Structure 1
């Protein structure tokens, strides 16, 4: 059954989201990003992938808030983690606090031991709200960028490791890439994504860019991969995932994949590539060494919901 709608400020109404709301939700999130960072990075495919998370029940796990004339003012969802977004013109009216209350109530009702939210560090009001509610920092995430103003200026690298070849992603590589990524991320990501969920975030996403997604092979086996998105609205390339098989790490495979992805995007007219990483991966040093710089950072906050947390 739907989670009871929280008490909202006068003039606002709440209801669960449906798949038809994805474009409107995307516009809301993009407006929030532009107000905070001057640029939107979220694409509709990312919103749709979150909406279709395994286990998420839209009727009980999502909430949209509209103003008196029917415009979307805020949204929230909760399913193992949570997101809350309030349109810039509707901030300061208590919507963020109301949606935070709703998300925590829903998480408790679902039996969750804790709730997690990621907030940009420069969104000082959101950070202060979470801290005031007992959320504590868990992980730091960084959005990195690599700029290519004139030519496909890529990091100076040695020749490919012996026996390693690189080619672009092709149809039929999907399941091997999924296994590689999930195996590589297992050290810091406790829950493995099933193929269908992973695909919605990568190869089935409308912005997936196979020609800019290099794969590394050794002895016919996939040992490294970059899954890239071509974010047309930003004019940038985005490396959604980078993974190298454990027995081929520290051999230059990751740097080689980065070089190929950068150059492929440059040939398509992109002059900037971005990539998210976080403190649990231990990969920040690698990206800084190849010439990437930190554009901005976010913090993953967690709050325990069980007695005594």
Structure 2
């Protein structure tokens, strides 16, 4: 636990409790209003995080309260449930704007790193990766994590495509067919996703796969099925959501592509292009102004290939910083 007097503005520290949800959401709002990121979090997302992401809060969270009892800072350490492969520990946190530049953020980060190392030790082998994401433009946060030994390990770019522009005509050939998402095929989509990304992403269990769908739009989500055999196989998939809470900040409405993948045996058949175009038509039919998606890449110079060709343009980004333990 963070000790009193360690440049913590005399904050009182304890773990985050379930009962702190309202206060934590208010803190999120104050931070987002000040930093003005191109998104806004909702109470539903916070409540969902309590259930799906933030496990063992007693050991893996910390919250700082001022003398009036107001929540002013927090830090979280989490491991994705059912994560397979090398262990990754994720750090999240924030400090109220009127408590910044006084050592509070540093104190939280020190605690998080120490706790993350403890989590890795508890996994049995003591090795893994400590991960933190920093939005572009948050130079103070980037400087802070670098001072504590984090190095750049990857990049994320958000992109949008104007739906007023003409969409190309594209289609898949038989025996492939583009079909709407259905709940009956959802677990097959999960297995296809795990296969499509292989070692490039953590495999998702059935439990994790169905979490985080508050804003999922089935009518905007599509599959490419191969009906060569009696049991149709998922060759590709696109899952999309509607994050209306972000639109006022962004300045436009959009359909957002959460997941897009094609299994290896079916690559090279324009399946990803076909799925994107079909989804963009659905977005446009629903009155959306833009299509949007996020792309992870290993270097800042990586080509954004398909998305460039379809008219997507970068809007913002973030950097992943890691410590290998």
TM-score range (shorter-chain normalised) is 0.7 to 0.9
Which residue is 1:81 aligned to?
90
| 3-state secondary structure, aligned to 1:159 | coil
Return the offset for 1:216.
Answer: 1.5
Return the alpha-carbon distance in structure 2 between the equivalents of residues 300 and 115 of structure 1.
10
Which residue is 2:312 aligned to?
292
Q: Call closer, same or farther: CA 1:105–1:53 in 2, change over 3 Å.
A: farther
Does structure 1 conserve the Cα–Cα contact (< 8 Å) formed by 2:65 and 2:73? yes
Does structure 1 conserve the Cα–Cα contact (< 8 Å) formed by 2:91 and 2:132? yes
Return the offset for 1:231.
Answer: 0.8
Return the offset for 1:160.
Answer: 2.4
Which residue is 2:243 aligned to?
231
Return the alpha-carbon distance in structure 1 between the equivalents of residues 304 and 237 of structure 2.
17
Q: Call closer, same or farther: CA 1:54–1:207 in 2, change over 3 Å.
A: closer
Moved more, 109-118 or 225-234: 109-118
Pairing partner for 1:117 from 132, 145, 149: 132
Q: Call closer, same or farther: CA 1:98–1:195 in 2, change over 3 Å.
A: same
Does structure 2 conserve the Cα–Cα contact (< 8 Å) formed by 1:184 and 1:243? yes
Q: TM-score, normalised by structure 1?
A: 0.85
Which residue is 1:68 aligned to?
67
Return the offset for 1:38.
Answer: 4.9
Alignment of 1:95-134 (within 5 A): 95-110=104-119, 111=121, 112-113=126-127, 114-134=129-149
Return the alpha-carbon distance in structure 1 between the equivalents of residues 43 and 256 of structure 2.
15
Answer yes or no: is 1:198 the counterpart of 2:209.
yes
Does structure 1 conserve the Cα–Cα contact (< 8 Å) formed by 2:156 and 2:318? yes
Return the offset for 1:17.
Answer: 2.4
Return the index of the structure with the highest Cα Rg: 2
Q: Call closer, same or farther: CA 1:55–1:25 in 2, change over 3 Å.
A: closer
Moved more, 162-171 or 39-48: 39-48
| 3-state secondary structure, aligned to 2:184 | coil
Which residue is 1:269 aligned to?
287
Q: Call closer, same or farther: CA 1:182–1:8 in 2, change over 3 Å.
A: farther
Return the offset for 1:128.
Answer: 0.6
Does structure 2 conserve the Cα–Cα contact (< 8 Å) formed by 1:64 and 1:75? yes
Aligned CA RMSD, in angstroms, stands at 2.6
Which residue is 1:160 aligned to?
172
Return the alpha-carbon distance in structure 1 between the equivalents of residues 274 and 19 of structure 2.
41
Return the alpha-carbon distance in structure 1 between the equivalents of residues 221 and 243 of structure 2.
14
Moved more, 71-80 or 96-105: 71-80
Return the alpha-carbon distance in structure 1 between the equivalents of residues 203 and 166 of structure 2.
32
Unaligned runs of 5+ in 2: 79-88, 248-253
Answer yes or no: is 1:243 the counterpart of 2:242.
no
Unaligned runs of 5+ in 1: none
| 3-state secondary structure, aligned to 1:233 | helix
Pairing partner for 1:217 from 225, 239, 242: 225
Does structure 1 conserve the Cα–Cα contact (< 8 Å) formed by 2:9 and 2:102? no
Q: Call closer, same or farther: CA 1:245–1:44 in 2, change over 3 Å.
A: farther
Return the alpha-carbon distance in structure 2 between the equivalents of residues 169 and 266 of structure 1.
18
Return the alpha-carbon distance in structure 1 between the equivalents of residues 224 and 22 of structure 2.
35
Which residue is 2:35 aligned to?
36
How many residues are paired up? 295
Q: Call closer, same or farther: CA 1:36–1:293 in 2, change over 3 Å.
A: farther
Pairing partner for 1:279 from 294, 297, 300: 297
Return the alpha-carbon distance in structure 1 between the equivalents of residues 158 and 131 of structure 2.
19
Does structure 2 conserve the Cα–Cα contact (< 8 Å) formed by 1:43 and 1:231? no
